[in-house]
Amino acid sequence: MDLGLRDSVAVVVGGASGIGRAIANTFLAENAKVAVIDLRFAEPGSGQFVADVTDYAAIKRAAAEIRTQFGRVDHIVFAAGIGSGKFGFPFWNLDPADWDRVLRVNLIGAANVAHAFAPGLAEQKRGTMLFLASVAGQIGSQTDPPYSASKAGLINFAQCAAKDLAPFGVRVNSLNPGMVQTPLNRSVWQSWADKQPPETWKDYDTWAGEKVSKIVPLGRWQTPDDIAAMAVFLASERAANVTGQTINVDGGYVMHW
């Protein structure tokens, strides 16, 4: 499908792997120009910038370099994210110190990116911004409370940003993946499995398959490409009246009106 994104410039933060990389590739398939910001290079070549989202000065430098190289920025996708690496049920299995890095990457990192790019979008009076949140930010997931809370904050911040940028013709939304087989999802299983006695231990495929069959009405995994298709659609003019929304690609896991 031609979404009318040819020659537009998309910046995918966290685009070196996983869902972020699928989004970058889908923008490229729509003939957009893509810049990736990540902690590491996905592969050698131009259009990739190394920066830590928790380092605002580094993000501002990357934003300036991207504008110099590409001439402008039209679409921002924040796809960076981490979990605590621990199984959080009950939440006091974690220490308060386990919260800091998760919040700094998932929430403050998103704010850093928004601060670096929003003024340019407002000045040109067009563009979009999309934050990858999670269904965990809607349901109060007990699996990893720091992750869940950070994603809830991200959804709220997206709504604030949408209101601020609407007068400038800039749209902002959040996108919630459901059950996706990524390294982050596998790390959730690992943190659970590490605490199980032999009689309750399950391998990843069994654990994850049972979870999907129980909580996802469509009964199947979501894929990075599923998420990417919606992300790129939301950047297009076909979604011209969509802003401030929280859109789920989750097989019906969370249903809301």
SS3 215: helix
Helix (H) / strand (E) containing 185: helix 183-193
Among 56, 147, 204, 253, the one annotated catalytic: 147
First to last CA, the chain: 28
Short-list 136, 126, 113, CA closest to 54: 113
Pairwise CA distance, residues 167 & 160, whole Å: 13
Single-letter amino acid, residue 189: W
Q: Residue 91 in contact with residue 145, Cβ under 8 Å? A: yes
Pairwise CA distance, residues 32 & 6, whole Å: 5
Token output for 243:
């802003």
Pairwise CA distance, residues 130 & 14, whole Å: 12
DSSP per-residue string spanning 106-174: IIIHHHHHHHHHHHHHHHHT-EEEEEE--THHHHT-SS-HHHHHHHHHHHHHHHHHHHHHGGGTEEEEE
147 counts as catalytic? yes
Q: Which residues are catalytic?
A: 147
